[in-house]
Chains A and B, each alone.
Chain A
Amino acid sequence: MKKRLNGLAWLLASVGFVIGLYGLYQRFTLGHRMADYGSYIPWGLWVAAYIYFIGLSAGSFLLSTLVYVARIERLEKIGKLSLFTAFACLVGALISIWLDLGHEFRVYRVVLHPNFRSMMSWMGILYSSYFLIILVELWFAMRVDLIAAGRGQGASAALARVVALGSTDTSDSAVERDRRILKVLGSIGVPLAIAFHGGVGALFGVVGARTYWHSGLTPIAFLVGALASGGALLAAIVYVWGPDRDGPAFEDMMRFLGKVVLAIVLLDLLLEVSEFFVGLYSEIPDEAIPIRAVLFGSRWYVFWVVHIFFGVLVPVWLLFRNAVLRRTGEGGRAAGAVALAGFLVAVTFMAVRLNIVIPAQINPEIAGLEYAFTGPGLKYTYLPTLGEWLVTVWVSSFSVLLFLVGYKLLPIVGRDDREVA
């Protein structure tokens, strides 16, 4: 079953990668003319995809700190896996937002000439630091395994030797040093992950012109959303690619992950309900119109069907039943159910991200502006074009392939733990 899921992931990601290339080709030949965003709705699908991936990354990373900082033993073996998941998602996020830029080759300016009053500049600085921390942390987490893997023959061993960067010390004191370094890096990583994902929320929250975003709750909602989606993704990934898959400890770990995800999904729902009730009650158009559009607009199903039904109700039911109620060892199917719930939450969270980015922009800032002058991009409706979807399919597939290739080549999960049922 898990082998089949692994194969399916390879197949879907490969197909997505190839099909998505057409979107990429369009993006580089037609530029932004191929996209439906414009002047009145300047941010579209790619910005939503960016905050989606960055949330997955931050959530997954924060769970890795449970291993390296909080030293939660039952999660011990998935530390590297969660770090690597965070890395693959971060790469996806960065590509997505990079392709969204009008002048993508000037992106270096954000880091070299930052405006410290701009949240986006801070993002550039924080992402660079985060990228570095993940890489260094991954290296230290894999160092001993890399040395071991490098002793063999073949391409994988050769790669391990290169990545090990000449390190050969596998003594107990070196391993202990690695642990200490990981704890320090993880401890730096926690505020960093909170700062950058809360920062992404703040990037939207500080925009006073868009009342729907302009709330102190926005950065917090982004963080909780990150933990919900990233944690859920990890639950699904651990089920298919995690270590020790058939032992009782594995079931125990999955149920623990399930409980964590359940709690955070419910907390996220609470924040959402709070935002919507407060926004609707006062009926201030700038805020109420976007909320009404989310709940009852022409694309109501994105919220109700994709997010609420498949992203909250079904997973909550699955998690409650399998992670909370079921006793250990009973039937042995709890792990699969938790993984399915996690997968549903992780995938459908894109609906939440779309519902954050797009509706805030549908309300003309000055009534009547939409009729004042016409031209491409001067409108208040937005539906991603096929090209935009294809680019997002490519970015997602690229992230998945990055994960799969890394998983295959690097000792992200120990060889002995990999045996597939």
Chain B
Amino acid sequence: MAFMDIEPQEIRRRMTEDLRRALAKPMNERHWVMVLDLAKCVGCTACTTACVAENHLPPGVVYRPVIEREIGRYPNVRKTFMPRPCMQCDNPPCVKVCPAHATWKRPDGIVEIDYDKCIGCRYCINACPYSARTFDKGFYYSDGTPYIPDYEKKPAFEYGRTWPRRNRHDSPAGNARKCTFCLHRIDKGLLPACVTTCLGDATYFGDSNDPDSLVSRLIASPRVMRLKAEFGTRPSTYYLV
């Protein structure tokens, strides 16, 4: 935190305050952003696991994989880790291509999917330059066993709605799915699951429209970069490199 005068134990309290302040404003006056400090990510994948648990993700669906890379040349080699949530682009290619109006950008910057409208054509998956959308083919973890336990059918709460998985045809099975920045948690004043479980305090979340928020200060850093900026997607997910 060389460029920030904030104690590590203060970070989460500060982000929660930022969150509450943002929630007090009308939706179109806030813009949610996530900042990932790659220098602090240790590649523990706690965020990936927390996300799977929080959103009840079935096999084959992942919102926040952590990509490992080796950089340098032997013997000067090190590993870097890059979590990849949905970028929540300001100019999302996935929204443009959807033939059924099943996905759109909310005023607060989150790209939303209505699973009841999605026809499962997977055009958005192909159009996303970040591979951030995955196809839910309707698997259960207990496939191949004689019994599907009830916890596999428990509802997910994405986009503030309840999506039970009673059978394999129920949406979101058959749909494209992606990270929602844990909207259902944010609405309740809670930070996204990946943020709260990040061991190294590498994941930040907040309102970039609020000049006093922690994320506003972070994205003003010269270390900041956005993935594939050349695509003109203007992601709301920033990386500190």
Tell whether, in the assembled complex, residue B174 and residue A32 are in contact, meaning their CB atoms are under 8 Å apart. Answer: yes
Interface residues as binary, A368-403 with B (CB distance below 8 Å gives 1, 0 otherwise): 110111011110000000000000000000000000
Judged by a CB distance under 8 angstroms, whether A26 is at the interface is no
On chain B, the residues within 8 Å of A367 by CB distance are 67, 69
Tell whether, in the assembled complex, residue B138 and residue A32 are in contact, meaning their CB atoms are under 8 Å apart. Answer: yes
* In the complex, residue of chain B having the shortest beta-carbon distance to the beta carbon of A379: B60
CA distance A117 to B124 in the complex (A): 13
Tell whether, in the assembled complex, residue A207 and residue B127 are in contact, meaning their CB atoms are under 8 Å apart. Answer: yes
Tell whether, in the assembled complex, residue A39 and residue B119 are in contact, meaning their CB atoms are under 8 Å apart. Answer: no
B117 CB to closest chain A CB (Å) equals: 6
CA distance A123 to B121 in the complex (A): 13
CA distance A102 to B102 in the complex (A): 13
Judged by a CB distance under 8 angstroms, whether A297 is at the interface is no
CA distance A239 to B57 in the complex (A): 55
CA distance A101 to B231 in the complex (A): 28
Judged by a CB distance under 8 angstroms, whether B162 is at the interface is no
CA distance A378 to B57 in the complex (A): 14
Closest 7 CB pairs of A and B: A102-B120, A102-B174, A372-B65, A120-B99, A39-B134, A42-B122, A209-B129
Footprint of B on A, CB under 8 Å? 31-33, 35, 37-40, 42-43, 100-104, 106-107, 109-110, 113-115, 117-121, 123-124, 203, 206-210, 361, 364-369, 371-373, 375-378
Judged by a CB distance under 8 angstroms, whether B88 is at the interface is no
CA distance A37 to B128 in the complex (A): 17
Tell whether, in the assembled complex, residue A376 and residue B67 are in contact, meaning their CB atoms are under 8 Å apart. Answer: no
A-B contact pairs, 7 of them (CB 8 A): A35-B137, A40-B131, A42-B122, A102-B120, A113-B101, A365-B129, A366-B82
Footprint of A on B, CB under 8 Å? 48, 59-62, 65-69, 82, 84, 93, 96-102, 117-123, 125-131, 133-139, 143, 168-169, 171, 173-176, 227, 231
Tell whether, in the assembled complex, residue A31 and residue B174 are in contact, meaning their CB atoms are under 8 Å apart. Answer: yes
On chain B, the residues within 8 Å of A361 by CB distance are 126
On chain A, the residues within 8 Å of B126 by CB distance are 42-43, 207, 209-210, 361
CA distance A31 to B173 in the complex (A): 10
Given A114-B99, A210-B126, A366-B227, A33 and B119 touching (CB < 8 A)? no
8 Å CB contact of A115 from B61, B67, B101, B122: B101
Interface centre among B48, B118, B131, B168 (most CB of A within 10 A): B131
Tell whether, in the assembled complex, residue B125 and residue A42 are in contact, meaning their CB atoms are under 8 Å apart. Answer: yes
Tell whether, in the assembled complex, residue A378 and residue B62 are in contact, meaning their CB atoms are under 8 Å apart. Answer: yes
CA distance A114 to B173 in the complex (A): 22
CA distance A19 to B37 in the complex (A): 55
A203 CB to closest chain B CB (Å) equals: 8
B136 CB to closest chain A CB (Å) equals: 8
A155 CB to closest chain B CB (Å) equals: 39
On chain B, the residues within 8 Å of A378 by CB distance are 60, 62, 134
CA distance A328 to B84 in the complex (A): 67
A109 CB to closest chain B CB (Å) equals: 4
Tell whether, in the assembled complex, residue A366 and residue B84 are in contact, meaning their CB atoms are under 8 Å apart. Answer: yes
On chain A, the residues within 8 Å of B143 by CB distance are 33
